[in-house]
Amino acid sequence: MKGGHVRRAFKFRFYPTDTQAAELSRTFGCVRKVYNLALQARTEAWYQRQERVNYVQTSALLTEWKKSEEYAYLAEVSSVPLQQTLRHLQGAFVNFWEGRAKYPRFKAKKKSRASAEYTRSAFRWRDGRLTLAMMDQSLDIVWSRSLPDGAEPSTVTVSRDPAGRWFVSLLVEDPTVRPLTDAAHEAVALDAGLTSLVTLSTGEKVTNPRHERRDRVCLARAQRELARKQEASKNREKARRRVAKIHARISDRRRDHLHKLTTRLVRENQTIVIEDLNVRGMLKNRSLARAISDAAWTELRGMLDYKCQWYGRQLVVVDQWYPSSKTCSACGYHLGKLLLNVREWMCPACGTHHDRDVNGAKNLLAVGQAVTACGAGVRPQRDGSRTRLPAVKQEAKQATAGHFSAEK
């Protein structure tokens, strides 16, 4: 938040001229080189001399590198993206020190994201036209949607994806994003799955589109053609680009579907309850890894997280070990064992017939509402829109037990 408004990035595709593409490609390479040189300098300083090198010191090193004969080419591109990549490296180290990420890794030419970030001093924004430093012409941007009235970008990020598409992201303050005042429902819980992407506590099931499966045959054919090409040949690069375009089409469709789903859920509900799934651990199951990756549960949760912050909603995260599927939502009876292929079951205590996913969503809703209401075992996160329930089964059981007794 800045000035009471949400800072929001608007991403557009653009088509550079040959000169612009060459300049940007050169900038991407210099950005990657500076990042790797700074990471190497900081790593050697620590392991060899037990010294910590910060952003200011790496900025001074950048000046020395530009003066050297070996790295004189760094002075041929705009200095702002090079300074920005040093700031990004500093942020990566801060995340590492605070336990939020692993130790920063070197950027590889073929695997890392090709991007460069420009601040206000390195671009000109005039009458809806964007011109970057070291360029004479403005970018040919496809304005698929309009920016907020009067918005001026504070940061511009140019990137190229593996499919060869060019994008520009404009960071602006968006006054149109404000907390919503009304909601059709007070609360809803989501149970993530594979047959149904999510099952709501209301009984609604959102079908899993399985975007990857739709293009699986086409993707397999393109990958076989890629494997036959000679290393480092032009034909191999063309085949690699075809594979990347298929992957891009799959991810674009998946992201579009998740955006529409999460926006609807946030607009219709004041509180959203989800389960804290260990997706990384689930991906170790080789039988389900492909389907789990295609479902993109982590991306779904990330969208719900920031959209709840934007629109003043509450996101409650229930611990992954709470037995939501094995607990009867009618009487609270706990089933000892429930195999994954069992999608429906009958409660031995009260005789209620349960759909596994709907029952799990109802239990998640009960836990989210009960524990949030009584305040037992609630640990607030960094932002005020999200609440996590700790990994203590007993507290969740006590909360839901009170809920079941109140219903009776």
pLDDT tens digits, 227-279: 999 999 999 999 999 999 999 999 999 999 999 999 999 999 999 999 999 99
User: Of 369, 368, 331, 339, nearest to 356 (Cα)?
Assistant: 339
Give the range among 125-129, 143-147, 370-374, 379-383 with minimum mean pLDDT. 379-383
Are residues 130 and 139 in contact, defined by beta-carbon separation less than 8 angstroms? yes
Q: Which helix (H) or strand (E) holds 27?
A: helix 18-49
pLDDT tens across 283-309, in order? 999 999 999 999 999 999 999 999 999
In this predicted structure, what is the pLDDT of residue 371?
67
- Position 403 pLDDT exceeds 60: no
In this predicted structure, what is the pLDDT of residue 336?
84
131 bridge partner residues? 124
| Tokens found for residue 216 | 């699986």
pLDDT tens across 144-194, in order? 999 999 899 999 999 999 999 999 999 999 998 999 988 777 899 999 999
Higher pLDDT, 192 or 368: 192
Contacts of 241 (CB under 8 A, 6+ apart): 162, 163, 164
Burial code (b: 16+ CB inside 10 Å, e: under 16) for 10-40 equals bebebebeeebeebbeebbbbbbbbbbbbbe
Residue 8's φ and ψ, nearest 5 degrees, are: -130, 140
In this predicted structure, what is the pLDDT of residue 142?
97
In this predicted structure, what is the pLDDT of residue 375?
55
pLDDT tens across 16-60, in order? 999 999 999 999 999 999 999 999 999 999 999 999 999 999 999
Q: Which residues carry out catalysis?
A: 191, 275, 357
- Calculate the average pLDDT of the chain: 90
- Position 351 pLDDT exceeds 60: yes
Q: Which helix (H) or strand (E) holds 245?
A: helix 234-268
Q: Which helix (H) or strand (E) holds 214?
A: helix 211-214
